[in-house]
Every structure is written in C-alpha cells, then in structure tokens.
Amino acid sequence: MGKKITIAILGTIIIIAIGVATYFAANKPVIKPASLPVPAVKSIDKTEQANKPIGQTGKITYLVSNQDKTKFCNGVAMDSEGYRKTITAKVTSDVPKDGLTDVELAKKTAVLATDGMCQEVLKQTNFKVVSGVVEISPIEGWAGISIVMCSCQPEVEVNLLQIPGIKKVVWQSN
C-alpha cells in the first residue's frame, strides 16, 4: 500500500513538473529587472568587468552527479546535502578563447553545471562577484521551485566554489 502511495505521489510530481515545463516553454518566462529588489551591495562597474578577464580560456571544467537527482529531491525526500556529495564527475566544455570576466565565468559555470528548470532560471538570473563572493539575484517562485532548488543549489555552489578566488556563494532573496 505504501509503495502505491509513493508511486502515486511521484507520478503527480512528474505530471506537475511536465505541466510547469510546458507552461514555461510556451510562455518563455523572463524575470523583469523591475521586479527584482536592489540588493544593498557594491556593484561592479561594467567597464571594470570588461577589463578584467580572469585568464580562463579554451576549456572550463565543472562537476556533475552521476546519480538521479530525483532520488534525493522529489518532494518527499529533500536531501540537498546527500545530493551535494554525489557531484563529483568532471565534465569539460569550451569557452571563448579571449577569456571571461569573473562574472561571466561564474554564470557560465553555473549554467553548464545544471539542467532543466534550474538551468533555464539561471540563464535569466543576474550574477555579481564582489571580493570573492558570488551573489545570485533573487529567483521568482513557481510551483515546484523547492524541488528544483533542492538539487540546483548544491550543483551551483559546488561548482562556483571550485573557481579560484571564489570563497562564498550568496543566494539573494526577495
């Protein structure tokens, strides 16, 4: 009986996730800058960023998990720390030959290291790097966000903390 309930719950979660993904694919969500609060932190001037390539050229290496994230993050089990421990498989991707700024490298790494809704949201999210701290702008909520963020946060944090000079990741909140 308990197994049937678990299967029914997982089936419901999958149907909701498909519905949410279909909705976002059809409506192409955009986080409007006007809806984001202005964080009380020093912003880096764009000319400063443009003149500050960090020397990362050619290839970028990031870590992924070989485990099914729904084993750890499914609405019933919400084990971010358990999932974090599985993010150990190295993957290499190409990056521009002329180098990336620290902000570009942080965002590119986060996007490459994730997939699904996490990746789509991160593509639309603003990143800042201030004194070795990556600041990620607030993410608008949707049905199922807690399940996505259960695996998204460890994927992003593990990978950003691999970047030389990055010592902390801060998720801004609304």
List, for residues 112-168, the tens digit of each pLDDT value.
999 999 999 999 999 999 999 999 999 998 888 999 999 999 999 999 999 999 999
List, for residues 38-96, the tens digit of each pLDDT value.
333 333 333 333 334 444 457 889 999 999 999 999 999 999 999 999 999 999 988 77
Residues ≥6 apart with Cβ < 8 Å to 70: 10
- DSSP lists the bridge partners of residue 59 as 94
Amino acid occupying residue 144: G
How many residues appear in the chain? 174
Residue 173 has pLDDT above 60, yes or no: yes
Question: Could you please report the per-residue DSSP string of 14-71?
Answer: HHHHHHHHHHHHHH-----GGGS---SSPPPPHHHHHT-B-S--SEEEEEEESS-GGG
Residues ≥6 apart with Cβ < 8 Å to 29: 120, 124, 140
Residue 35 has pLDDT above 50, yes or no: no
| Residue bearing tokens 């608008």 | 140
Q: What is the DSSP letter of 144?
A: T
pTM for the whole thing? 0.67
Q: What are phi and psi of 23, to 5 degrees?
A: -60, -50
Domain boundaries, the chain: 2-171
pLDDT band at 29 (very low <50, low <70, confident <90, very high): very low
